[in-house]
Protein backbone atom coordinates (compact mmCIF):
# COMPACT_ATOMS: atom_id res chain seq x y z
CA UNK A 1 0.00 0.00 0.00
CA UNK A 2 1.01 3.60 -0.51
CA UNK A 3 -0.46 6.92 0.51
CA UNK A 4 -1.68 8.94 -2.47
CA UNK A 5 -3.40 12.32 -2.76
CA UNK A 6 -6.44 12.50 -5.05
CA UNK A 7 -9.38 14.82 -5.64
CA UNK A 8 -12.62 13.04 -4.75
CA UNK A 9 -14.74 15.83 -6.26
CA UNK A 10 -14.38 18.95 -8.39
CA UNK A 11 -13.87 22.36 -6.82
CA UNK A 12 -11.35 23.89 -4.43
CA UNK A 13 -8.36 22.33 -2.69
CA UNK A 14 -10.77 21.00 -0.05
CA UNK A 15 -11.57 18.27 -2.58
CA UNK A 16 -8.14 16.72 -2.00
CA UNK A 17 -7.85 13.74 0.30
CA UNK A 18 -5.21 11.20 1.25
CA UNK A 19 -6.05 7.59 0.37
CA UNK A 20 -4.29 4.25 0.66
CA UNK A 21 -3.90 2.46 -2.65
CA UNK A 22 -2.36 -0.80 -3.77
CA UNK A 23 0.92 -0.51 -5.67
CA UNK A 24 1.19 -3.21 -8.34
CA UNK A 25 4.58 -4.62 -9.27
CA UNK A 26 6.03 -2.94 -12.35
CA UNK A 27 5.01 -4.60 -15.60
CA UNK A 28 7.18 -4.91 -18.68
CA UNK A 29 8.74 -1.52 -19.47
CA UNK A 30 7.75 -0.06 -16.10
CA UNK A 31 9.62 1.10 -13.00
CA UNK A 32 8.59 1.33 -9.34
CA UNK A 33 9.89 4.52 -7.72
CA UNK A 34 10.02 5.35 -4.02
CA UNK A 35 9.26 9.07 -4.11
CA UNK A 36 11.48 11.53 -2.23
CA UNK A 37 10.04 14.87 -3.46
CA UNK A 38 7.15 16.06 -5.65
CA UNK A 39 6.86 19.25 -7.69
CA UNK A 40 3.69 21.31 -7.21
CA UNK A 41 2.37 23.22 -10.23
CA UNK A 42 -0.74 25.27 -11.09
CA UNK A 43 -1.87 22.57 -13.53
CA UNK A 44 -2.27 20.25 -10.55
CA UNK A 45 -5.17 22.16 -9.05
CA UNK A 46 -6.60 23.12 -12.42
CA UNK A 47 -7.17 19.40 -13.11
CA UNK A 48 -9.90 19.20 -10.44
CA UNK A 49 -11.04 22.84 -10.50
CA UNK A 50 -13.51 22.21 -13.29
CA UNK A 51 -11.41 24.17 -15.80
CA UNK A 52 -11.12 21.04 -17.96
CA UNK A 53 -14.61 19.72 -17.30
CA UNK A 54 -16.33 18.02 -14.39
CA UNK A 55 -17.18 14.54 -15.64
CA UNK A 56 -18.02 12.48 -12.51
CA UNK A 57 -16.88 9.35 -14.34
CA UNK A 58 -13.30 10.68 -14.17
CA UNK A 59 -13.28 10.92 -10.38
CA UNK A 60 -11.18 10.56 -8.35
CA UNK A 61 -8.72 12.83 -10.13
CA UNK A 62 -5.08 11.79 -9.67
CA UNK A 63 -2.71 14.77 -9.51
CA UNK A 64 1.01 15.31 -9.80
CA UNK A 65 3.13 15.57 -12.93
CA UNK A 66 6.74 15.55 -11.68
CA UNK A 67 8.69 13.92 -8.88
CA UNK A 68 12.06 12.51 -7.92
CA UNK A 69 13.00 9.36 -6.07
CA UNK A 70 14.82 6.04 -5.94
CA UNK A 71 14.11 3.04 -8.17
CA UNK A 72 12.73 0.24 -5.97
CA UNK A 73 11.94 -2.34 -8.68
CA UNK A 74 12.02 -2.70 -12.46
CA UNK A 75 9.80 -4.64 -14.84
CA UNK A 76 10.80 -7.05 -17.55
CA UNK A 77 12.88 -5.60 -20.35
CA UNK A 78 14.09 -2.58 -18.38
CA UNK A 79 17.88 -2.42 -18.72
CA UNK A 80 18.68 1.30 -18.72
CA UNK A 81 17.65 1.79 -15.07
CA UNK A 82 18.51 -0.38 -12.06
CA UNK A 83 17.24 -0.76 -8.50
CA UNK A 84 18.82 1.90 -6.31
CA UNK A 85 19.22 4.48 -9.08
CA UNK A 86 18.23 8.06 -8.22
CA UNK A 87 15.83 9.35 -10.88
CA UNK A 88 13.49 12.14 -11.92
CA UNK A 89 9.97 11.26 -13.07
CA UNK A 90 8.47 13.63 -15.66
CA UNK A 91 6.03 13.74 -17.31
CA UNK A 92 3.66 11.68 -15.22
CA UNK A 93 0.21 11.49 -13.68
CA UNK A 94 -0.82 10.77 -10.12
CA UNK A 95 2.64 11.40 -8.70
CA UNK A 96 1.35 12.79 -5.39
CA UNK A 97 2.22 9.50 -3.69
CA UNK A 98 4.83 7.71 -1.61
CA UNK A 99 5.44 5.13 -4.34
CA UNK A 100 4.53 5.17 -8.03
CA UNK A 101 4.76 2.82 -10.98
CA UNK A 102 5.67 4.67 -14.18
CA UNK A 103 6.84 3.80 -17.70
CA UNK A 104 10.60 3.83 -18.07
CA UNK A 105 10.15 6.50 -20.77
CA UNK A 106 9.19 8.93 -17.98
CA UNK A 107 12.50 8.38 -16.17
CA UNK A 108 15.58 10.60 -16.34
CA UNK A 109 18.68 9.82 -14.21
CA UNK A 110 19.24 12.36 -11.43
CA UNK A 111 22.76 13.78 -11.11
CA UNK A 112 24.34 13.26 -7.70
CA UNK A 113 24.85 17.01 -7.32
CA UNK A 114 21.17 17.85 -7.75
CA UNK A 115 19.07 17.80 -4.58
CA UNK A 116 15.77 15.96 -4.35
CA UNK A 117 13.67 19.11 -4.08
CA UNK A 118 15.37 20.85 -6.99
CA UNK A 119 15.16 17.70 -9.11
CA UNK A 120 11.44 17.36 -8.44
CA UNK A 121 10.80 20.97 -9.44
CA UNK A 122 12.96 21.20 -12.56
CA UNK A 123 11.54 19.48 -15.60
CA UNK A 124 7.96 20.71 -15.94
CA UNK A 125 8.86 24.40 -15.73
CA UNK A 126 12.20 23.91 -17.46
CA UNK A 127 10.69 22.06 -20.39
CA UNK A 128 8.05 24.74 -20.79
CA UNK A 129 10.71 27.45 -20.74
CA UNK A 130 12.85 25.72 -23.39
CA UNK A 131 9.80 25.11 -25.58
CA UNK A 132 8.78 28.76 -25.41
CA UNK A 133 12.26 30.19 -26.00
CA UNK A 134 12.84 27.87 -28.96
CA UNK A 135 9.47 28.83 -30.45
CA UNK A 136 10.47 32.49 -30.64
CA UNK A 137 14.11 31.75 -31.48
CA UNK A 138 15.77 33.51 -28.55
CA UNK A 139 19.51 33.67 -29.04
CA UNK A 140 22.65 35.75 -28.74
CA UNK A 141 22.10 39.47 -29.26
CA UNK A 142 18.36 39.39 -28.62
CA UNK A 143 16.62 41.54 -26.05
CA UNK A 144 13.72 39.50 -24.67
CA UNK A 145 10.89 40.55 -22.36
CA UNK A 146 9.77 37.81 -19.96
CA UNK A 147 6.49 38.42 -18.16
CA UNK A 148 6.31 36.71 -14.78
CA UNK A 149 10.07 36.40 -14.43
CA UNK A 150 9.88 35.40 -10.76
CA UNK A 151 7.50 32.49 -11.40
CA UNK A 152 8.49 28.86 -11.89
CA UNK A 153 8.67 28.99 -15.70
CA UNK A 154 9.81 32.60 -15.80
CA UNK A 155 12.81 32.07 -13.52
CA UNK A 156 14.10 29.16 -15.63
CA UNK A 157 13.40 31.09 -18.85
CA UNK A 158 15.47 34.04 -17.61
CA UNK A 159 18.44 31.82 -16.81
CA UNK A 160 18.20 29.91 -20.09
CA UNK A 161 17.86 33.08 -22.17
CA UNK A 162 20.87 34.69 -20.45
CA UNK A 163 22.88 31.51 -21.09
CA UNK A 164 22.02 31.84 -24.78
CA UNK A 165 23.52 35.33 -24.83
CA UNK A 166 20.27 37.30 -24.70
CA UNK A 167 19.59 40.45 -22.70
CA UNK A 168 16.52 39.91 -20.53
CA UNK A 169 13.97 42.32 -19.10
CA UNK A 170 11.75 40.57 -16.57
CA UNK A 171 8.46 41.68 -15.03
CA UNK A 172 7.65 40.84 -11.42
CA UNK A 173 6.00 42.25 -8.32
CA UNK A 174 7.79 44.81 -6.20
CA UNK A 175 8.85 42.21 -3.62
CA UNK A 176 10.62 40.08 -6.25
CA UNK A 177 12.69 42.71 -8.06
CA UNK A 178 15.97 41.69 -6.41
CA UNK A 179 15.24 38.02 -7.09
CA UNK A 180 14.77 38.69 -10.82
CA UNK A 181 17.91 40.82 -10.89
CA UNK A 182 19.90 38.00 -9.29
CA UNK A 183 18.67 35.63 -12.00
CA UNK A 184 20.38 37.86 -14.57
CA UNK A 185 17.51 40.04 -15.83
CA UNK A 186 16.74 43.73 -15.57
CA UNK A 187 13.60 43.78 -13.40
CA UNK A 188 10.55 45.99 -13.91
CA UNK A 189 7.40 46.13 -11.82
CA UNK A 190 4.24 45.10 -13.63
CA UNK A 191 1.12 47.26 -13.49
CA UNK A 192 0.04 50.60 -14.93
CA UNK A 193 2.78 52.18 -17.02
CA UNK A 194 4.57 48.89 -17.72
CA UNK A 195 5.18 49.66 -21.39
CA UNK A 196 6.91 52.93 -20.57
CA UNK A 197 9.07 51.33 -17.88
CA UNK A 198 10.21 48.62 -20.29
CA UNK A 199 11.04 51.20 -22.96
CA UNK A 200 13.09 53.12 -20.40
CA UNK A 201 15.27 50.13 -19.41
CA UNK A 202 15.51 48.78 -22.97
CA UNK A 203 15.96 51.82 -25.25
CA UNK A 204 17.41 49.52 -27.89
CA UNK A 205 13.98 47.89 -28.22
CA UNK A 206 12.50 44.47 -27.49
CA UNK A 207 13.11 41.69 -30.04
CA UNK A 208 10.97 38.96 -28.49
CA UNK A 209 8.55 38.40 -25.63
CA UNK A 210 7.52 35.42 -23.50
CA UNK A 211 4.29 35.65 -21.49
CA UNK A 212 4.03 33.23 -18.59
CA UNK A 213 1.14 34.96 -16.78
CA UNK A 214 -1.64 35.24 -19.35
CA UNK A 215 -2.87 38.74 -18.48
CA UNK A 216 -4.12 41.26 -21.01
CA UNK A 217 -1.43 43.63 -19.74
CA UNK A 218 1.32 41.16 -20.63
CA UNK A 219 -0.13 40.53 -24.08
CA UNK A 220 -0.86 44.19 -24.87
CA UNK A 221 2.62 45.34 -23.83
CA UNK A 222 4.24 42.56 -25.85
CA UNK A 223 2.25 43.49 -28.94
CA UNK A 224 3.17 47.15 -28.48
CA UNK A 225 6.90 46.49 -28.11
CA UNK A 226 7.68 43.56 -30.44
CA UNK A 227 7.46 44.36 -34.14
CA UNK A 228 7.39 40.75 -35.37
CA UNK A 229 4.42 38.90 -33.83
CA UNK A 230 6.02 35.54 -34.63
CA UNK A 231 8.48 36.39 -31.85
CA UNK A 232 5.80 36.61 -29.16
CA UNK A 233 4.76 33.46 -27.30
CA UNK A 234 2.44 32.72 -24.39
CA UNK A 235 2.03 29.67 -22.18
CA UNK A 236 -1.30 30.89 -20.78
CA UNK A 237 -3.21 33.42 -22.92
CA UNK A 238 -4.35 30.93 -25.57
CA UNK A 239 -7.42 32.92 -26.54
CA UNK A 240 -5.43 36.09 -27.10
CA UNK A 241 -2.81 34.18 -29.10
CA UNK A 242 -5.45 32.92 -31.49
CA UNK A 243 -7.20 36.27 -31.66
CA UNK A 244 -4.09 38.41 -32.15
CA UNK A 245 -2.00 36.02 -34.24
CA UNK A 246 0.99 35.19 -32.07
CA UNK A 247 2.38 31.87 -30.86
CA UNK A 248 1.39 29.72 -27.91
CA UNK A 249 2.94 26.55 -26.51
CA UNK A 250 1.48 23.79 -24.37
CA UNK A 251 -2.25 23.31 -24.06
CA UNK A 252 -2.03 19.71 -25.25
CA UNK A 253 -0.03 20.55 -28.39
CA UNK A 254 1.85 17.36 -29.45
CA UNK A 255 4.74 19.42 -30.80
CA UNK A 256 5.18 21.05 -27.39
CA UNK A 257 5.08 17.69 -25.65
CA UNK A 258 7.82 16.36 -27.93
CA UNK A 259 9.95 19.48 -27.49
CA UNK A 260 9.76 19.21 -23.71
CA UNK A 261 10.75 15.56 -23.74
CA UNK A 262 13.80 16.40 -25.84
CA UNK A 263 14.77 19.16 -23.40
CA UNK A 264 14.98 16.87 -20.35
CA UNK A 265 18.56 15.63 -20.71
CA UNK A 266 20.04 19.10 -21.24
CA UNK A 267 18.06 20.62 -18.39
CA UNK A 268 19.16 17.91 -15.97
CA UNK A 269 22.78 18.21 -17.11
CA UNK A 270 22.78 22.01 -16.69
CA UNK A 271 21.10 21.87 -13.28
CA UNK A 272 23.39 19.10 -12.09
CA UNK A 273 26.41 21.20 -13.08
CA UNK A 274 25.05 24.20 -11.18
CA UNK A 275 24.31 26.28 -14.27
CA UNK A 276 20.55 26.31 -13.62
CA UNK A 277 19.02 27.02 -10.24
CA UNK A 278 15.60 25.85 -9.10
CA UNK A 279 14.62 28.07 -6.18
CA UNK A 280 12.48 26.33 -3.58
CA UNK A 281 9.92 28.67 -2.01
CA UNK A 282 8.42 26.23 0.46
CA UNK A 283 8.06 22.54 1.26
CA UNK A 284 5.02 20.72 2.64
CA UNK A 285 4.38 17.20 3.88
CA UNK A 286 2.47 15.15 1.29
CA UNK A 287 -0.58 15.10 3.56
CA UNK A 288 -0.69 18.92 3.38
CA UNK A 289 -1.12 19.01 -0.41
CA UNK A 290 -4.41 20.90 -0.04
CA UNK A 291 -2.67 23.66 1.89
CA UNK A 292 0.09 23.80 -0.73
CA UNK A 293 -2.49 24.24 -3.49
CA UNK A 294 -4.34 26.92 -1.56
CA UNK A 295 -1.15 28.90 -0.98
CA UNK A 296 0.10 28.42 -4.55
CA UNK A 297 -3.06 30.05 -5.90
CA UNK A 298 -2.29 33.19 -3.84
CA UNK A 299 0.66 35.61 -3.92
CA UNK A 300 3.61 33.72 -2.47
CA UNK A 301 7.43 33.83 -2.25
CA UNK A 302 9.34 33.29 -5.48
CA UNK A 303 10.20 29.70 -6.33
CA UNK A 304 8.69 26.23 -6.42
CA UNK A 305 6.47 24.50 -3.88
CA UNK A 306 7.54 20.92 -3.11
CA UNK A 307 5.73 18.07 -1.36
CA UNK A 308 7.73 15.63 0.77
CA UNK A 309 6.22 12.14 1.28
Q: What is the mean pLDDT of residues 220-238?
A: 98
Query: 161 — phi, psi (to 5°)?
Result: -65, -45
Query: What pLDDT is attached to residue 139?
Result: 98
- Kindly report the backbone phi and psi dihedral angles of residue 84, in degrees, each rounded to the nearest multiple of 5, phi listed first: 95, -15
Element (H, E) at 198: helix 194-201
Spatial distance between the Cα atoms of 66 and 268, rounded to a whole number of angstroms: 13
Cα 107 from Cα 89, distance rounded (Å)? 5
Provide the b/e sequence for 265-280 (b: ≥16 CB within 10 Å).
eebbebbbeeebbbbb
Do the Cβ atoms of 194 and 221 come closer than 8 Å?
yes
pLDDT band at 194 (very low <50, low <70, confident <90, very high): very high
Whole-number average pLDDT of the chain? 97
Question: Cα–Cα distance between 92 and 105 in angstroms, integer?
Answer: 10
pLDDT band for 299, please (50, 70, 90 cuts): confident
Mark whether 67 and 136 lie in a shared domain: no
Q: How confident is the model at residue 251 (pLDDT cuts 50, 70, 90)?
A: confident
Residues 151 and 236 in one domain: yes
Query: What is the share, in percent, of the chain residues with pLDDT greater than 70?
Result: 100
Query: In this predicted model, what pLDDT tens digit does every residue of 8-19 receive, in sequence order?
Result: 999 999 999 999
Residue 79 binned pLDDT confidence (cut-offs 50, 70, 90): very high
* 185: containing domain: 124-248
- Inter-residue contact 188 to 206 (CB < 8 Å): no
Q: Where is 129: in which H helix or E strand?
A: helix 123-135
- The per-residue pLDDT for 148 is 97
**Residue 219 and residue 156 in one domain:** yes
How many structural domains comprise the chain?
A: 2
> Do residues 79 and 183 share a domain?
no
For residues 77 and 166, membership in a common domain is answered with no
Pair (23, 111) in one structural domain? yes
Give dist(CA 162, CA 235) in Å, integer: 20
- Indicate if the pLDDT at residue 257 is higher than 90: yes
**CATH at 115:** 3.90.180.10
Would you state the pLDDT for residue 300? Answer: 87
- Given pLDDT bands bounded at 50, 70 and 90, which one contains residue 252? confident
Whole-structure pTM value: 0.95
Amino acid sequence: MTKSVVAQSYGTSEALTVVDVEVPPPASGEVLVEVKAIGVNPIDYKLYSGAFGDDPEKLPVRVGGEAAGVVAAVGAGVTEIAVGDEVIVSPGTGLYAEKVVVPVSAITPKPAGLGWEQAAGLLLVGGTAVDALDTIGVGSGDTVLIHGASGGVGALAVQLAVARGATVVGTAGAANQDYVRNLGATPVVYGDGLEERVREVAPQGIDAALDTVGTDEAVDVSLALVKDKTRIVTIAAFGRAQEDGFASVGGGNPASAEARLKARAELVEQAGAGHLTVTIAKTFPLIDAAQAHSELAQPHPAGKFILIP
